[in-house]
Structure formats: C-alpha cells, structure tokens
Amino acid sequence: MGNQTKSPFLERIREAIRVRHYSIRTERTYIEWTRRFILFHGKRHPEEMGETEVAAFLTHLAVNRDVAASTQNQAMNALVFVYKHVLGRPLGDVVGAVRAKRPARLPVVLSQDEVRRVLAELRGAPWLIACLQYGSGLRLMESMRLRVKDLEFEHRAVMVRDGKGGKDRVVTLADALVEPLQRHLAARRNLFEQDSAQGFGTVHLPHALARKYPNADCSWGWQYVFPSSRLSRDPRSGVIRRHHLDESVVQKAVARSVRKCGIEKPASCHTLRHSFATHLLERGADIRTVQEQLGHADVRTTQIYTHVIQRGGRAVLSPLAAVL
C-alpha cells in the first residue's frame, strides 16, 4: 500500500481501529482503501457519499483494475468498517456493484518427494518455519507470530493464538521438529538476554495484555520464536525493540528453493500448508480433524483437498517425519 496521508479523518479511522485492537496490518490496509475511495471520487468526503459511491468504487476495482475477489472484499470490508464505526452510518445494500469473480481453482499441492527436496534446500529459520507449515499446517503469519510459550514440547502441540477470524486452536507438533526447535530456542534465549542487557528486551503484546500483565512484555515466554535480525521502532508506541521476522524472508527463501529444485508448479509457502492437509488425508485422517488442524470455520473449505484422496480415519500423525 502507498503512503498514508496525515488527515483528521484518516486519524479518526486509525483511532477507531486501535480501540478495537485490530492489527497494524489491518490498520494500514483499511486506511489505504479509504484513501483510494476518496481519491476515486475526486477527494469528496465519505460523509457526502454512501452506497451508490461505494458500489461505483467496487465496480471500478473489478472492471477497470481487474482485482481478485479477495481484494475487492478487502476494500468492501474497509468501507463497511469506516461507515459503521467512524461515521456511525452503517452501509445498506450495495446494489449494482460488479463483483470480482472468484475462480474455482484447486490448490497447488506438492508430492512428498517434492516437499522433501524443497525443505532440503532451506536453512535456519526459513527451514523451521517451512517445516511448521508442512508439519503442523500453520499459516505463514501464524508461524511468524508464535511466542515461546506457544510451543508445548511435552504434549507435542503448538498453540495458535488469535489465528484467522480471531480464533485459537491447538495443532500437532511433529516429533522431528522438537530437537531443532529446542536448539533454536537456546540461541533465541541468548539473543533475548543480550537485548535485555542493552535495554531492548521488551516485546509487543496483543490487545490490553500490557496493562493486565505489566511485566509480561519483558518475559521470556512472550518473546517471538522467530525474531527479526534487527531492532526496529514500533509504529504505534515508538518503542525500539525486536519484532518478529518479516514474512518476506521466508517467502523468498521458499521461492528460491522451489526454483532450485526445478519444480514447475507455482508453489509458495502456502503450498506447504495445502500439502499438509492433502497428505494428512492420504494418511487416513478424518476430514473434520483436518479442518480443526487447519482452523477452517467451515468444513466445505477443507473438502477441496478431497480431490486428491477420499479416505476416512482418525489419527493425527504429522507427515513431516516422512520427508526428513
């Protein structure tokens, strides 16, 4: 998204978002879509506009910009938020908007041999994160946001907090990842202690936890499992500290690995999650169990993976061990 103009109205949106504890990504996205909406209508104020102008903007995105359905929905969500929570005037039916078509595509899935080759080319944190995506079905940002306390080695579980839709869930932790993760955390602990000694040992806490647990932001358990290589200034509080690793680091590493392996499929980090679901079904896992592991709200979303295999079963055994 582009630069965000400092305007009183956009600041009102920012305040409304922060009061509701939305993520910094959502904040930036909603403000940028509002800015585009205003510019599209010749810098008219949203108070002067309504459903007709929203429909025209959404149609423009679908027809002239040829955006994906998910992108158009993102813009719609931003404007629904602005009109409801900032202007106090909820949008009615947006009649007449041309909706972007959602293509009926099957997910790209790698074979176990292809997963093995891709993982073999990765090193360090990208390797661990890719293994969590394939071994536990985590989304990329779920991996990025993992805290030390979320790893339950004894129970072979990963606690996913505030996942998509604001939901928590528990997923399986592959036996093959226990020792690599423990070694990683030992090195991570050293980095944390160095940061703490230099006065940079605090970490961002979600929602109001900083007030509820005053010392949690400097505790080991709340630290990110996969930290950034450098300190940065928090865009909201201004505090200098170590945030989590940027997802682009892993995305680029996986893309390089796929190219190096000569795999022609349009594979990405998310492909590892698709492969996790498909291979679980191949190993006999029940579709409801796979749904829970993936964090899908509707089992119909999970059913897309049955194009590969249609077998029943109950045990949840991570497929990671078969490729390491």
Residue length of the chain? 324
Task: Please say if 230 is a catalytic residue.
Answer: no
> What is the 8-class DSSP label of residue 3?
P
Q: Is 83 tagged catalytic?
A: no
Closest CA to 126 of 268, 304, 2: 268
Active-site residue among 164, 169, 243, 283?
164
305 is catalytic: yes
- CB contact at 8 A, 40 and 57: yes
Give 214: exposed, middle or buried? Use CB within 10 Å, 0-12, 13-18, 19+: exposed
* Cα distance between residue 4 and residue 288, in whole Å: 43
Among residues 14, 145, 273, 279, the one annotated as catalytic is 273
Return d(Cα 277, Cα 36) in angstroms, integer.
37
**φ, ψ (nearest 5 deg) of residue 233:** -90, 125
Query: Is 145 in the active site?
Result: no
The residue from 149, 169, 270, 283 that is catalytic is 270
Helix (H) or strand (E) holding 157: strand 157-160
Q: Which of 30, 83, 224, 305 is catalytic?
A: 305
H-helix or E-strand spanning residue 159: strand 157-160
Alpha helix segments (H runs only) across the chain: 8-19, 24-40, 51-63, 69-81, 112-120, 124-136, 140-144, 175-197, 209-212, 247-260, 269-282, 287-294, 299-302
The DSSP line for 266-305 is: ---HHHHHHHHHHHHHHTT--HHHHHHHHT-SSHHHHGGG
CA proximity to 256, closest of 119, 83, 125: 119
In order of 6, 145, 158, 225, 244, the CA distances from 192 in angstroms are 35, 16, 21, 11, 12
> Which residue in 139, 184, 244, 279 is the catalytic one?
139
Amino acid letter at 79? L
Give the amino acid at 172.
T
Indicate the angle between helix axes 24-40 and 69-81, nearest 10 degrees: 90
The catalytic residue positions are 139, 164, 270, 273, 296, 305
